[in-house]
Amino acid sequence: MFEPGETIVFTEAEFHNTGSLTSPSNVCFAIVETSVLQSSGSMTLAPIAPQKSMTLSLSSIQAKIHPRAIPAGQRQTKITVTSQCSIDGKPFSDSIVSAELLVQYPISMEIVSPPTKMGRTEALPLTIELTNVSNVAYGTPTTNMKVVAFTLDSY
């Protein structure tokens, strides 16, 4: 599960040269930026011999999901992550590879139970039930903590 604002780390990719000539020496590999995905890093590939493959570490390539990637009123959305190879900024059409990722909030508000009647100086409970939709248990230590805040307006 990916969350809004999270960084996607790519570990490795396999490149295949299916042609009959060695690939050029200035082929650039990158993740394509979109309105919901900001990419950072790219790499220049070494030439690949005809009909050969090469696996490379992608430690310098990352993408960050926009904090507001999920449309208002929705709990989740699918985003498309696209990679491509290009020479001098011109993409190879056969090098474009895409994958869909599910982006959702780690918690979901299931029930909000406000009091039905309340006097001017009366204190009554407001019940909010949350469901953990993450695969990480509540209270698990993390270096990527986020604060959950509720704002209540009174009229």
Sketch the domain layout of the chain as residue ranges.
7-104
Q: Which of 65-74, 80-89, 142-151 has the least mean pLDDT?
A: 142-151
**Predicted TM-score (pTM) of this structure:** 0.67
d(CA 75, CA 60): 31
% of the chain at pLDDT higher than 90: 41
Phi-psi domain of 120 (left: phi exceeds 0; alpha: psi -120 through 50; beta: other): alpha
Residue corresponding to tokens 């999270």: 6
C-alpha torsion 96→52→47→15, nearest 10? 30
d(CA 100, CA 97): 11
Task: Read off the amino acid at residue 139.
Answer: G
Q: How confident is the model at residue 148 (pLDDT cuts 50, 70, 90)?
A: low
Q: How confident is the model at residue 140 (pLDDT cuts 50, 70, 90)?
A: low
Select the more confidently predicted residue: 108 or 14. 14
CATH of 7-104, one of 2.40.160, 3.40.50, 2.60.40, 2.30.30: 2.60.40
> In terms of Cα–Cα distance, which of 39, 140, 53, 48 is closest to 81?
39
| Furthest CA-CA distance within the chain | 82
